[in-house]
Amino acid sequence: MTVDHQDVFQLPTEEEEAEKDITLQDVQQRIKDITLVLSDFKKYRQADRSRSEYIDRLRQDLCLYYSYNDFLMEKLMDMFPLSELMEYLESSEVARPLTIRTNTLKIRRRQLAGALINRGVNLDPLGKWTKEGLVIFNSQVPLGATPEYLGGYYMIQGASSMLPVMALAPQENERILDMCSAPGGKGSHIAAAMKNSGVLFANDSNRDRIKAVVANFHRLGVVNSVVSCEDGTKFRKIMTGFDRVLLDAPCTGTGVVSKDPSVKTTKSDVDVQRCYNLQRKLLLTAIDCVDAKSSTGGIIVYSTCSVLPEENEWVIDYALKKRNVKLVPTGLDFGVEGFTKFRQHRFHPSLNLTKRYYPHTHNMDGFYVAKLKKFSNTIPITKEQQEEDEKQLDEPIEGETTTEAAAEGAAEDAEENEDEKAPRKLLGKRAGKPSLTDIDQDLKKKKLEANKKKYVAKVFEKPVKVAKTPKSEQPQETNGAPKSQKKNKPQATNGAPKTEKKAKPQFKPEQANGKGKPTKPEAGKKFPSQPNVKASPGKSAAPKPEAKKFQPKDKKGEAKQQAAKPAANAKANATLAKAPRIDADDVPVLEGKPIKRQNNLKQKSKQIGQLKKSKTGANPNPKGGKKQKFKK
């Protein structure tokens, strides 16, 4: 039943609501009817209904239609008239246009606009109030991955986030502090306004978010900044004497509902009180960090992305009472004046110099900007009063949390008692991650330690060096043979290296077992076959180690060699007996020396063969005889 058909709109009773199924269209129509009744209450009201009943029904319908909780909807209804409230709620459901800020450290706005237009981006200047902003209507490429973005030519930033820096009006060669700088949009804007001169201190208490500040500063070419991760409420103990301070305080985010719709249902009175106390602490610290005697500055800019008076006007009014500061014009040409009175509260008259921004009037996120000037470094209150104020700022949080815990129902208490056995859900970094018990954490640590050592090569033991002693004879054999063959005339064909290779495996086990005698008669057979030939040592394969040491050329040398063999064999047997025996399979695979020796052996054997080919024409007859003997 609408107002068009009947002059008096009748509020439905509880029984009628229970019987009838209500759709969203019915709720929307009822919201329109109630707003019309409240616009002229005397004409359209019911005789037995009061204004409060209509307002309660309207609040319930708005919470149902726009998915707000009762607390936040009640705050918004206190702030706006009904007609403006509907516009605010409707505009909060629509996303704000995408805006970017030109990085004047690297490029001009006209050049950037031309480059983006060539990439298929439809854009326009943001407004007359800014010389750096661009509004993006549509784009064929993702703006966060263009070469211009990666090169640091622009920053994706909301239009409302540019306002605090414009109010701060940084000058060159100043010391400026950005107390809550993450993710670095406002800080980089300050550095661009300073033209990379002076010093910019970018601070944030969140260690994870400070990484974004460093990354953006590197990308945008900011070189005059000092990034810190300190508690903003205690920054006065670290450093003071700044020309200007920007405080973009943490808030409930009621002005950015279009970006984060969860704000509509998750925020409560306790969250507002907690933010209110933190904001007062940060603002007093920011004022203490500023030097009132600065020739160019002494300015503090306070901004939030909230529209609630508790986080804006109340905080500024508190700072005006506790410090020697005054409000000055922000320098922004547009915006709604701040509240000087809100319901039963009355604020300082100079609060009309602050600016408010709404999505339904300025087409940007809800924002608040206030500009303060410090006119004296003295504090108008005593230290005792300061300590009492700090205690008062801390106590309400504890009181609110206790009242909130006491207000919970019996059913929730029972659920909590059941959940006490299970591990609590972690907040912060561990939010959304599975909670691990102590045993699981120990196992996880052990796995991490094992993974660290997984791909590390093991250190080989000392016996690997001992395994080289029997193998060291291979290069001696190869190195010994060419020397004797170069000095003496070689009388073997290309088959000689092959016979040497066959002789090596016969010689190694005999040395390893200490049986060197079978090699002697073989050498004896070869030596008397050619007693008058000088190259006899080079033709023998077995006694090559002795051939290297002695290299006999006469019969006297042969006699000395035969006399020295028993003593050398005895020493070799003694050392081999003491040495640990290692099989070839036990030698580590990573040892590369045996492979290199084999390659050297092949190369040298080829060289020997080539020398023998070149010298075969000198003594052809003895070659054939020796060939037949080796083949047999």
Model confidence over 9-49: pLDDT tens digits? 677 777 676 667 778 888 888 888 888 888 888 887 877 78
Residue ranges of alpha helices (H) inside 93-168 are 109-118, 147-150, 163-168
Assess if residue 56 is contained within a domain: no
E strand or H helix at 435? none
Domain housing 218: 161-399
Please check the confidence at residue 538 and state whether its pLDDT lies above 50: no
Q: Tell me if 219 is assigned to some domain.
A: yes
Q: Does the annotation place 181 within a ligand binding site?
A: yes
Query: Rounded mean pLDDT of 242-250?
Result: 95
pLDDT confidence band for 456 (50 / 70 / 90): low
- The structure tokens listed for 114 are 């031309």
Whether residues 501 and 555 fall in one domain: yes
**Alpha-carbon span 619 to 612, nearest angstrom:** 11
Q: What is the CA radius of gyration of the chain?
A: 46
Q: How many helices and strands, by DSSP H and E, does the chain display? A: 28, 15
Q: Do the annotations mark residue 180 as ligand-binding?
A: yes
- Map tokens 């507002």 to a residue: 272
The percentage of residues in the chain with a pLDDT greater than 70, rounded to a whole number, is: 66
Strands ordered across the beta sheet of 154-156? 121-125, 133-139, 98-102, 154-156
In the residue annotation, 251 being an active-site residue is answered as no
Residue 276 lies in a domain: yes
Same domain for 246 and 175? yes
Q: Which residue has the higher pLDDT, 601 or 23?
A: 23
Instruction: Verify that 429 and 515 share a domain, yes or no.
Output: no
Q: Is residue 92 pLDDT above 70, yes or no?
A: yes
pLDDT of residue 28: 87
Q: Which alpha helices (DSSP H) does 40-146 contain, by range?
A: 41-44, 51-66, 70-79, 82-92, 109-118
Question: Is 165 or 463 the better-scoring residue by pLDDT?
Answer: 165
61 marked among binding-site residues: no
- Note whether residue 137 is domain-resident: no
Q: Is the pLDDT of residue 251 over 80?
A: yes
Tell whether 142 is covered by a domain: no
Q: How confident is the model at residue 505 (pLDDT cuts 50, 70, 90)?
A: very low
Residues 446 and 381 in one domain: no
Confidence of residue 151 (pLDDT cuts 50, 70, 90): very high
Q: HEC states along 566-590?
A: HHHHHHHHHHHHHCCCCCHHHCCCC
Percent of all residues in the chain with a pLDDT value above 90, rounded to a whole number: 49
Q: Same domain, yes or no, for 321 and 356?
A: yes
Q: Are residues 556 and 492 in the same domain?
A: yes
pLDDT of residue 493: 43
pLDDT of residue 21: 75
Q: Is 185 flagged in the annotation as binding? A: yes
Q: What is the pLDDT of residue 503?
A: 41
Residue pair 303/368 in contact (Cβ under 8 Å)? The answer is yes
Residues 358-368, buried b or exposed e (16+ Cβ, 10 A)? bbbebebbbbb
Identified catalytic residue from 63, 275, 289, 305: 305
Residue 236: pLDDT band with limits 50, 70, 90: very high
Q: Is 204 annotated as a binding residue?
A: yes
Is 20 within the bounds of a domain?
no
Q: What are residue 592's phi and psi, to 5 degrees?
A: -100, 0
First-to-last C-alpha distance (Å) of the chain: 123
| Same domain flag for 205 and 269 | yes
**Environment class of residue 73 by beta-carbon count within 10 Å: exposed (0-12), middle (13-18) or buried (19+)?**
buried
Same domain, 379 and 264: yes
Answer yes or no: do 514 and 431 share one domain: no
> Is 438 known to sit in a ligand binding site?
no
Would you state the pLDDT for residue 149?
A: 96
150 three-state secondary structure: helix
Domain shared by 290 and 431, yes or no: no
- Closest to 217 (Cα-Cα) out of 249, 246, 178: 178
125 is in an annotated binding site: no
Higher-scoring residue by pLDDT: 535, 130: 130
Beta strands in 111-258 (DSSP E): 121-125, 133-139, 154-156, 175-178, 199-203, 225-228, 244-248
Residue 12, domain member (yes or no): no
583 is in an annotated binding site: no
- Is 182 assigned a ligand-binding role in the annotation? yes
Does any domain span residue 44? Answer: no
Question: What is the per-residue pLDDT across 288-333, written as a single tens digit (0 to 9) for each?
Answer: 999 999 988 899 999 999 999 999 999 999 999 999 999 999 999 9
Residues 434, 497, single domain; the answer is: no
Tokens of 370: 């206030």
Contact, 370 vs 302, CB < 8 A? yes
Distance CA 171, CA 386 (A): 33
DSSP class of 356: E
Q: What is the domain count for the chain? A: 3
Least confident of 45-54, 230-239, 408-417, 493-502: 493-502
